[in-house]
Amino acid sequence: MRLPSKYETIRQILSDLKQPEYRYAQIMDAIFKHNVGEYGRMTMLPQFLRDELTRMLGPNVCRIVPVKELTSQQVNKVLFAIAGDERVEAVRLTYERGWKSYCLSTQCGCGFGCKFCATGTIGLKRNLTAEEITDQLLHFRLNGHALDSVSFMGMGEAFANPYIFDAITILTDPQLFGLGHRRITVSTIGLLPGIDRLTREFPQVNLTFSLHSPFDDQRSELMPINERFPIHDVLKALDHHIRHTGRKVYIAYILLRGVNDSTTHAEAVAELLRGRGPVEHLYHVNLIPFNSTEVTPDNYQQSESNRIKAFVGILKSKGISVTVRTQFGSDINAACGQLYRSE
């Protein structure tokens, strides 16, 4: 059964109480323009309505509760308590010139068991509702932070949770968060039904595919999902996505020392992405140095910097556009799943 978000419930309450149309806009303005976080403090509303909202939804607009916070210069990581005595994490990254980017969780834990991932060791507890996903961002909004961009790269696989699409609808609703579609990035290990649905319903939302090995046998070992959705099938869906949307697709590639950072790997990645016709130039590779503080089932290490340089050099020499993602927050274990485990 699909759970309605608080925004839908508020509409329902207003309609049940035969309230005028403008009440909904008043409440949303209070939340999103004036950062009012409690229904009881919405003084522009009649008292009975404040009471009814509080009775139905609880006193606080944001229904997930921060229980632990870690902050370094550029990273602020918050652990939230959610219903069922569970926990999820969200991260705020502050870039130079003040750009604020948020990394949200879509599931509590994750059942896909990628070998290099701390969240994978927790197993799947449950999917988050659309409200629990977007409340992670609401927490920062109500605390006065600008919301510049959002990615679903926290705990969980976004496309394994059908609520991700409701969450995107809430984030892009002009009366609510009002985020531009291009400010949102969904990251996936390659779930084809989710990729197809994003292409159809949210063509302007950014898409990142986590590749991590260009070889099916090795990728299946690192990421068991590859047995179900092998590399070539996913790339075909991504070609279609690019043709349909005219947008770039990002290929994420975590570099693990001695595992997937060889010259042969770099050449094979280039080979996969070349010769894809008119869409070829819209693939962009993001190399991510592995965060060695992660607690993972296997003991992976970060690639040496000369290996990273060589990998970049090979991709560039084959005409592939590539960047190395800056490492943020390894000093506070910002890698996903770590704060959860420390509890």
Query: Which residues have a catalytic role annotated?
Result: 89, 336
Note whether 142 and 62 are within 8 A (CB). yes
| Phi, psi angle pair for 335, to nearest 5° | -60, 145
Task: Please identify which residue in 156, 190, 214, 289 interacts with ligand SF4, judged by CB under 6 A.
Answer: 156
3-state secondary structure of 169: helix
The answer to whether 117 contacts ligand SF4 (rule: CB under 6 A) is: yes
Query: Largest alpha-carbon pair distance within the chain?
Result: 69
Residue-by-residue DSSP string for 242-309 = HHHH---EEEEEEEBTTTT-SHHHHHHHHHHHTT-GGGGGGEEEEEEE--TT---SS---BPPHHHHH
Of 326, 332, 338, the C-alpha closest to 99 is 326
The answer to whether 322 contacts ligand SF4 (rule: CB under 6 A) is: no
Note whether 288 and 211 are within 8 A (CB). no
Task: Please identify which residue in 37, 120, 194, 329 interacts with ligand SF4, judged by CB under 6 A.
Answer: 120
Question: Is the Cβ of residue 7 or residue 112 nearer to ligand SF4 in the bound state?
Answer: 112
| Least distance between ligand SF4 and beta carbon 157 (Å) | 4
By CB under 6 A, how many residues form the interface with ligand SF4? 10
| Least distance between ligand SF4 and beta carbon 235 (Å) | 18
What is the x/- site pattern for ligand SF4, positions 22-41, by CB under 6 A? Answer: --------------------
Using CB atoms within 10 Å of the CB of residue 54, give its burial: 0 to 12 exposed, 13 to 18 middle, 19+ buried: middle
Question: Is the Cβ of residue 158 or residue 315 nearer to ligand SF4 in the bound state?
Answer: 158
| Least distance between ligand SF4 and beta carbon 156 (Å) | 5
Lookup result for tokens 């679903």:
152
What is the x/- site pattern for ligand SF4, positions 96-115, by CB under 6 A? Answer: --------------x-xxx-
The answer to whether 189 contacts ligand SF4 (rule: CB under 6 A) is: yes
Q: Which stretches of the chain bind ligand SF4, using CB under 6 A? A: 110, 112-114, 117, 119-120, 156-157, 189
